[in-house]
């Protein structure tokens, strides 16, 4: 019996050093495991935020693309619109949009908790803020797409209005269907297995279909269709537009690879797919424009780059690099055909091609995410992808159409004809974008 006691005492003595690790500042196995989680969490925050900053920078890209691809007399206006859709949009998303998109949802149709970032006020969980930061720049992306399609003729105050509605309502409601469960929500579409990793549909098609509704309701620019023929109205600076495309491409790495919202090794495939699709998109659009117009068209090629990026956004995490090249290449071809079709057949005036780039190629990308799924494709999968694409159109186009009609019949949607001819910069803002340079007068060409 004494020996038993001695035995137990001895083992306890031997155990003391191990237990000592549990004391303050002495490492333990459990404490280490917790510390590892904390470091990984810090890395997740780091990546999510850096990616968010890159996506924010896409606002500069959109501003430059839209400014460069429109005429010099409307530059101040388009820049103000891009600046304000972010500024007002972010505040609207803080107040309302985030709650509708990611709040607790009983129906699967929209969330109902978390207005004014009240989740953070309640739990002080910094992840709420990091996640919001990443999402708010996505909302701003959706909103900003519309300004390009309605450029050079939309009243500034009306723009502000619909921009807020898109950020606060139209975008978040669809977003909740596809992505709600990323936070506290639960959407009916994601429940079916809808694949849209970074938002070919959720962000780009939504923006694109709203842009289509807007371009239809507001009608073409003065002089765009003469005797039923579409006239080219070239943008005032290819340099500015190209810079915008490069900035968007750069930011898109945050958009796609950041959608992991975690620092992990999945980001590598996403980055490679994003790169190859953008490259193939540029190549595809260049070749088609070369064939169709006899010359490699710069505007089309630049839009082809964006088309490739939009196209890979849904499937960037679930297709192989070879497939990414194909997806991008097809997107580049589609965008050229779509721009020509919308411009010349439908006679809808979309100055920067936003509907084709974001709406049409967003739809293509969503389909492609199913078709090229690395683990194989089923009919059901394609069905769900088509359902999601259709749902986006059926939610966004009618609501945006009604919104634009309501604005049109109340405060008015369109600037006066005189203001449009003179340029919105002077009429709406009292300031020319380039006062030091001589402009061509109207008859000498594309005109200012």
Q: Residue 409 and residue 125: Cα distance in Å, rounded?
A: 45
CB 196, min distance to its own copies, A: 22
Structure tokens at 150: 């309605």
Q: What is the DSSP letter of 259?
A: G
Considering the complex, state which of residue 10 and residue 387 has its C-beta at the smaller distance from its own copies: 10
Q: Residue 403 and residue 150: Cα distance in Å, rounded?
A: 14
The one segment of 220-228, 317-325, 380-388, 396-404 that binds its own copies by CB under 8 A: 317-325
Among residues 338, 342, 348, which one has the least CA distance to residue 215?
348
Beta-carbon contacts of residue 286 (< 8 Å; ≥ 6 apart) = 296, 297, 300, 301, 304, 332
Q: Residue 408 and residue 213: Cα distance in Å, rounded?
A: 12
Verify binding: residue 278, its own copies, rule CB under 8 A.
yes
Q: Residue 73 and residue 292: Cα distance in Å, rounded?
A: 30
Q: Residue 169 and residue 187: Cα distance in Å, rounded?
A: 15
What are the φ/ψ torsions at residue 230 (nearest 5 degrees)?
-75, 130
- Rule CB under 8 A: choose which of 286, 400, 415, 424 binds its own copies: 286
Taken as a whole, the chain contains a residue count of 448
- Rule CB under 8 A: choose which of 69, 253, 372, 393 binds its own copies: 253
Considering the complex, state which of residue 71 and residue 204 has its C-beta at the smaller distance from its own copies: 71
Q: For residue 414, what are the β-bridge partners? A: 154
Cβ atoms of 275 and 308 within 8 Å: the answer is no
The one segment of 117-125, 177-185, 217-225, 384-392 that binds its own copies by CB under 8 A: 117-125
CB 278, min distance to its own copies, A: 7
Q: Residue 341 and residue 335: Cα distance in Å, rounded?
A: 10
Verify binding: residue 243, its own copies, rule CB under 8 A.
yes
The one segment of 165-173, 198-206, 207-215, 266-274 that binds its own copies by CB under 8 A: 266-274
CB 166, min distance to its own copies, A: 16
Cβ atoms of 371 and 172 within 8 Å: the answer is no
Q: Which residues of 217-235 are buried (b: 16+ CB within 10 A; e: fewer)?
A: bbbbbeebbeeeebeebeb
Verify binding: residue 445, its own copies, rule CB under 8 A.
yes
Please report the DSSP string for 75-107 in residue order. HHHHHHHHHHHHHHHHHHIIIIIHHHHHS--SS
Cβ atoms of 363 and 313 within 8 Å: the answer is no
List binders of its own copies among 347-406 (CB under 8 A): none
CB 109, min distance to its own copies, A: 27
CB 106, min distance to its own copies, A: 26
Spell out where 191-324 has E strands. Answer: 225-226, 229-230
The one segment of 124-132, 146-154, 216-224, 404-412 that binds its own copies by CB under 8 A: 124-132
The one segment of 213-221, 250-258, 339-347, 406-414 that binds its own copies by CB under 8 A: 250-258
CB 335, min distance to its own copies, A: 14
Verify binding: residue 254, its own copies, rule CB under 8 A.
yes
Considering the complex, state which of residue 157 and residue 417 has its C-beta at the smaller distance from its own copies: 157
Q: Which residues of 74-99 are buried (b: 16+ CB within 10 A; e: fewer)?
A: bbbbbbbbbebbbebbbebbbebbbb
List binders of its own copies among 158-187 (CB under 8 A): none
Verify binding: residue 442, its own copies, rule CB under 8 A.
no
List binders of its own copies among 18-57 (CB under 8 A): 21, 27-33, 35-36, 39-43, 45-47, 49-50, 52-54, 56-57
CB 207, min distance to its own copies, A: 19
The one segment of 167-175, 205-213, 232-240, 396-404 that binds its own copies by CB under 8 A: 232-240
- Rule CB under 8 A: choose which of 297, 343, 349, 420 binds its own copies: 297
Verify binding: residue 141, its own copies, rule CB under 8 A.
no
Q: Which helix (H) or strand (E) holds 179?
A: helix 171-179
- Rule CB under 8 A: choose which of 266, 347, 419, 421 binds its own copies: 266
CB 361, min distance to its own copies, A: 16
282 alpha carbon, distance to own chain's centre: 19
Verify binding: residue 5, its own copies, rule CB under 8 A.
no
Verify binding: residue 263, its own copies, rule CB under 8 A.
yes
CB 216, min distance to its own copies, A: 26
- Rule CB under 8 A: choose which of 141, 176, 301, 323 binds its own copies: 301
**What is the Rg, in whole angstroms, of the alpha carbon atoms belonging to the chain?**
26
Q: Which residue has the tokens 């100055």?
A: 351
Verify binding: residue 432, its own copies, rule CB under 8 A.
yes
Verify binding: residue 322, its own copies, rule CB under 8 A.
yes
Considering the complex, state which of residue 298 and residue 371 has its C-beta at the smaller distance from its own copies: 298
């Amino acid at each position: 019996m004494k020996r038993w006691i001695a035995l137990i005492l001895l083992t306890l003595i031997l155990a003391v050093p191990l237990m000592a690790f549990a004391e303050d500042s002495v490492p333990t196995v459990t404490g280490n495991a917790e510390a590892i989680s904390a470091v990984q969490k810090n890395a997740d925050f780091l990546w999510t935020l850096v990616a968010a900053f890159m996506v924010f920078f896409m606002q500069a890209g959109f501003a430059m693309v839209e400014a460069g691809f429109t005429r010099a007399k409307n530059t101040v206006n388009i820049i103000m619109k891009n600046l304000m859709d972010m500024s007002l949009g972010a505040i609207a998303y803080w107040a309302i949009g985030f709650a509708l998109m990611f709040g607790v949802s009983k129906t699967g149709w929209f969330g109902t908790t978390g207005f004014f970032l009240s989740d953070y006020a309640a739990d002080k969980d910094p992840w709420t803020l990091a996640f919001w930061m990443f999402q708010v720049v996505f909302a701003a992306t959706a909103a900003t797409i519309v300004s390009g399609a309605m450029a050079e003729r939309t009243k500034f105050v009306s723009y502000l209005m619909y921009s807020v509605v898109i950020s606060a309502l139209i975008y978040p409601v669809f977003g909740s269907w596809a992505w709600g469960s990323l936070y506290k929500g639960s959407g009916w579409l994601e429940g079916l297995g809808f694949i849209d990793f970074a938002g070919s549909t959720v962000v780009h098609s939504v923006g694109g279909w709203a842009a289509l509704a807007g371009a239809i309701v507001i009608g073409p620019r003065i002089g765009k269709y003469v005797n039923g023929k579409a006239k080219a109205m070239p943008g005032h600076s290819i340099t500015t537009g190209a810079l915008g495309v490069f900035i968007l491409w750069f930011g898109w790495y945050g958009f796609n690879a950041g959608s992991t919202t975690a620092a992990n090794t999945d980001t590598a495939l996403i980055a490679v797919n994003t790169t190859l699709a953008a490259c193939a998109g540029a190549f595809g659009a260049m070749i088609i424009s070369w064939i169709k117009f006899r010359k490699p068209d710069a505007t089309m090629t630049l839009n082809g780059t964006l088309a490739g990026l939009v196209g890979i956004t849904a499937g960037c995490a679930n297709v192989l690099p070879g497939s990414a090249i194909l997806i991008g290449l097809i997107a580049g071809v589609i965008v050229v055909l779509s721009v020509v079709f919308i411009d010349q057949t439908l006679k809808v005036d979309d100055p920067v091609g936003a509907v084709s780039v974001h709406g049409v190629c967003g739809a293509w990308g969503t389909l492609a995410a199913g078709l090229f799924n690395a683990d194989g494709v089923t009919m059901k999968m394609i069905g769900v992808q088509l359902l999601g694409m259709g749902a986006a159109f059926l939610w966004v186009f009618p609501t945006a159409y009604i919104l634009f009609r309501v604005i049109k019949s109340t405060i008015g949607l369109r600037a006066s004809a005189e203001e449009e001819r003179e340029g919105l910069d002077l009429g709406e803002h009292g300031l020319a974008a380039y006062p030091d340079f001589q402009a061509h007068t109207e008859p000498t060409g594309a005109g200012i």
